[in-house]
A and B are shown apart, each in its own frame.
Chain A
Amino acid sequence: MSVAVQDPSRPEPFVADVVSRRMSPRRRIGAGIALVVVGLLCALLLGLGSRAGYDARFDLANGGEYFTVPQIVVPARVSAFILGAVVVVLGCYQALRGFGRVGLRWAIGIAILAFLLTFLCWSTTGAPDQHIDMLGVLEQSLFLSIPLILGALAGLMCERSGVINVAIEGQMLAGAWAGALVGSVVSNLYIGVLGALVVGGLMGWLLAVFAIRYLVNQVVLGVVLNVLALGLTGFLYDALMQPDTATLNSPAVFQDVAVPVLSQIPVVGPLLFDQTVIVYLTYALIIAVDVALFRTRWGLRARAVGEHPRAADTVGINVLRVRYRNVILGGAVAGLAGANLTIGAIGGFSKNISSGMGFIALAAVIFGRWSPRGAVAAALLFGFASEMQNLLSSITTPVAIPSYFMAMLPYVATIFAVAGLVGRVRAPAADGEPYVKG
């Protein structure tokens, strides 16, 4: 397997050509049909389902920008038909001619976006004159996505180097606990973040030692480490923090810092550039991981170790050292994700505060095909899905949708992704396989 195949987002032209031709007709047509189905869902179910003549209204301003974006008003039903038709056309083209792999990815992206927009239009038509504070929805989505993005990056760093990280949840929980504790004791949030990084890194180190030195099965290990983290943080919370909340569990919270100039750009400004330090750190990490993984020596080595450790060893890469480093770094990043839950959002720690977010992050890694951009996109999508739960409970939709179904979405989507209904996802070749020299 050539290296370029693992990174189809940036292949050389020739390789891309070969790869795209290799897509089997069955898969090509399957993906096309899936797109057509999504398009028909948009047009027929959501389009006909929304009340005729109603307009969908979206607010996209909060007042602090250079100029105010006017409220966007579109006819709900017509927009649904148009968006649905676009997706159907994309699907037909895919089924008959086939986009390349890269093209298909864009087509899927457009289909998801079209579906979300149609869904939003449909949801406003339940009662007259409803409008959605779109900026608020996006801000909340981003807020909910940040821990998922960080967790996904953590998982990615481990798995790209060949160590399965099912323990993201535990690392997050430990980081959340440490962030709250240290931030509260020292009354300095930056040291709190540092504490979260260190404790998350320690959890990563545990994973690394047992997986790499003692060759424990990594899935079992991840599950056990999650139980350990849940038990330990719960125990220490009850035993230490709870009786003495004032000194041990009441850290301050990071406040939003508006970036001058940038934060006043309409829509984008308040959304992206009026955030906490942890969010800015997340932006930096996304770029750093993406660049590092594909453009630096570190990344090349990490990927080599994850795909074919023996070959990497043969050319002189210290496989175990690369894995240790990546897993510990990954743990630290997951710890940061945890810190975002406590000192980045609500302050104090409470039992099981991560409540399954580590597993959604794992889902994002898989759904995003073990690539940083894909994982971030998946995390954003999943964050948006959780925000939809809140939105749907605050507006009247034509048909009541229980928020539980929205909550299921990330998991169902991931099952579809691994089942290969829209292109099979493939893990790094040596992911989960311990390396023993000799």
Chain B
Amino acid sequence: MTDTASTPARTDSPPEPGLGERTIREILGSSNAAVTVLAFVAAMVVGGILIAIADPDTRTASSYFFSYPWDTFTDGFKAIGNGYWAMFQGAIFNPHTAAQGTLSGYLGPISETLTNATPLILGGLSVGLAFRAGLFNIGGQGQIIAGAVFAGYVGFAWHLPFIIHVIVAVIAGTIGGAIWGGLAGLLKAKTGAHEVITTIMLNYVALNALGYLLSVRGFQAPPYGQAISNSVDPNAMLWKLFGSSMRVNAGLFLALGAAVFMWWLLTRSTLGFKLRAVGANQFAARTAGIKVERGYIVVMLLAGGLAGLAGVTQILGTNGQITGDIDAGIGFDAITVALLGRAKAGPTVLAGLLFGALRAGGIQMQSNTGTPVDLVEVVQALIVLFIAAPGLVRAIFRLRGSGGGGEALAKGWNG
């Protein structure tokens, strides 16, 4: 392990990565598809062990492990099998509900996966876009809250005709997120304040501002006992795709559209090229005449807008009312999505779908087998941890290949 890790990755690294690829390499270290798959496998194995630990039968059996060791294993594997089978049922296909023959019986699990994936994809795109310009957007939480507040306010306070209301609310939410993200970009451009620090702090500012808003008349829903906002007009809700019995909504198209936009922006537009240049090497970019500071502001506006859209899909797509936990952990999960998606549009969509499936499956697993849904967070964190450290995965699976991590080193607070 030590050997592979300490060997500099020069001999067999792939030839000349592109600009953006190199930035991601700085953030993630070099890894490839095999490592990604193996990281997933390793995380699922650890998750399985946790399922077995959580299973009361397995724990009982392990108390007499030295008399009948086999019991522990059979019970453990049964628990793991049941757990992951329940996850599959919750996320992809459930034969029990399908047997009822209704449409929601067949498509219900897929609908849940897509619903959960929608904000994750948008959040992942937000974080990924900032990565490409060399910035860390840890502020997804704050931007999602800002987006949800703006969209929600327009949704319940204004009364506009059908279609127009949705469009205006979506735009308002995007602007809200963009303001919150742009603030961090502006601070970085004007004062050099590190965006990681400012975005983390802005998260908590947003969280408290939301707490305040949820205690104010005009925002809070009568009878003012709970911290919950007024309900968004039905006109402003994103329409359901498979009928009212399933939650999947037009927010999915927003997410896919945003992915196409990001792909176009980064690979086909001048602005995207400039942003990637800033991310690859800000000094070279400056020398080439690119306005780096403006790049910071623009990319954080865009990233904030994307995260704001995630907030929009939360409030206009599923929840309908703003609550204190409207963010639902998506802000931080988005970082894992972006990392798994390597900050590229297409893979980020896939990563969002995967984590959306894990979330949907986790809920089913909890209700079927009683295994806590927090397992999903653990698996998610482990996947990213393993992917970010390809040397570790190669060591576990005894693969050959470039060891170590990113040969180009990450920047610190002062960078």
Contact = CB atoms under 8 A, between A and B. Distances in A.
Interface of A: 159, 162, 164, 166, 210, 213-221, 223-228, 230-232, 234-240, 243, 356, 359, 362-363, 366, 402, 404-405, 407-408, 410-412, 414-415, 418-421, 424, 426-427, 429-434, 436, 438
B412 A408 contact: no
A431 B333 contact: no
A309 to B, nearest CB: 11
Nearest to A433: B412
B8 A438 contact: yes
Counting from the closest, the 6 A-B pairs by CB-CB distance are: A432-B412, A231-B377, A215-B405, A239-B54, A238-B372, A427-B413
Given A407-B208, A420-B193, A414 B412 contact: no
Interface in B381-415: 381-382, 384-385, 388-389, 391-392, 404-406, 409-415
Interface in B119-167: 136, 138
5 contacts: A219-B410, A221-B388, A224-B336, A231-B374, A410-B204
Contact of A216 (B29, B53, B375, B378): B29
A393 B388 CA distance: 46
Interface string B350-382: 000000000000000000000110111110111
A238 B201 CA distance: 30
A221 B191 CA distance: 26
Contacts of A411: 201-202, 204-205, 208
* Of listed B2, B187, B376, B414, residue having the most chain A CB within 10 A: B414
A361 to B, nearest CB: 12
Given A224-B381, A404-B212, A433 B411 contact: yes
A210 B388 contact: yes
Given A216-B29, A418-B198, A227 B208 contact: no
Interface residues of B, number: 63
Given A215-B410, A420-B192, 8 more contacts: A213-B2, A226-B332, A228-B381, A234-B372, A363-B201, A407-B204, A415-B187, A432-B413
Among the interface residues A239, A363, A424, A432, which one has the most CB atoms of the partner chain B within 10 A?
A239
A425 B214 CA distance: 35
Contacts of A224: 335-336, 339, 381, 384-385, 388
A426 B404 contact: no
B98 interface: no
Contact of A227 (B215, B381, B389): B381
A217 B407 CA distance: 11
A215 B413 contact: no
Given A214-B392, A407-B208, A408-B205, A238 B374 contact: yes
Nearest to A231: B377
B53 A239 contact: yes
B224 to A, nearest CB: 14
A234 B209 CA distance: 27
Interface in B309-342: 332-333, 335-336, 339
Contacts of B197: 362-363, 366, 414-415, 418
Contact of A402 (B215, B332, B339): B215
Given A407-B208, A419-B187, A217 B27 contact: yes
Contact of A219 (B192, B196, B332, B414): B196
Nearest to A360: B204
Nearest to B389: A214
B175 interface: no
A419 B191 contact: yes
A427 B332 contact: no
Contacts of A227: 332-333, 336, 377, 380-381
Interface of B is mostly: helix
Contacts of B201: 363, 411-412, 414-415
A236 B378 CA distance: 11
B413 A431 contact: yes
Interface string B24-51: 0011110000000000000000000010
Contacts of B413: 159, 164, 427, 431-432
A407 B210 CA distance: 12
B138 A219 contact: yes
A415 B193 contact: yes
A284 to B, nearest CB: 29
Contacts of A427: 412-414
B358 to A, nearest CB: 11
Chain A contact residues: over half helix, strand or loop, or mixed?
A: helix
Nearest to B138: A223
Nearest to B191: A419
A162 B142 CA distance: 28
A402 B209 CA distance: 10
Given A225-B381, A232-B378, A408-B204, A210 B389 contact: yes
Contacts of B378: 228, 231-232, 235
Nearest to A229: B381
B347 interface: no
Given A235-B375, A238-B372, A411-B204, A215 B380 contact: no
Contact of A223 (B198, B211, B335, B377): B335
Nearest to B9: A215
A217 B384 contact: no
Contacts of A431: 412-414
Nearest to A370: B413
B205 A215 contact: no
Contact of B29 (A215, A404, A407, A408): A215
A363 B2 CA distance: 35
A205 to B, nearest CB: 14
A359 B211 CA distance: 18
A366 B378 CA distance: 29
A220 B208 CA distance: 25
A407 B205 CA distance: 8
Contacts of A420: 191-193
B404 A235 contact: no
Contacts of A166: 138, 196, 200
B136 A220 contact: yes
Nearest to A228: B381
A162 B413 CA distance: 10
A407 B197 CA distance: 17
Given A227-B380, A408-B209, A217 B26 contact: yes
B372 A216 contact: no
A97 to B, nearest CB: 25
Contacts of A436: 8, 409
Of B187, B201, B384, B405, chain A has the most CB atoms within 10 Å of the CB of B201
Contact of B204 (A220, A356, A429): A356
Interface string B207-248: 011011001000000000000000000000000000000000
Contacts of B50: 235, 239
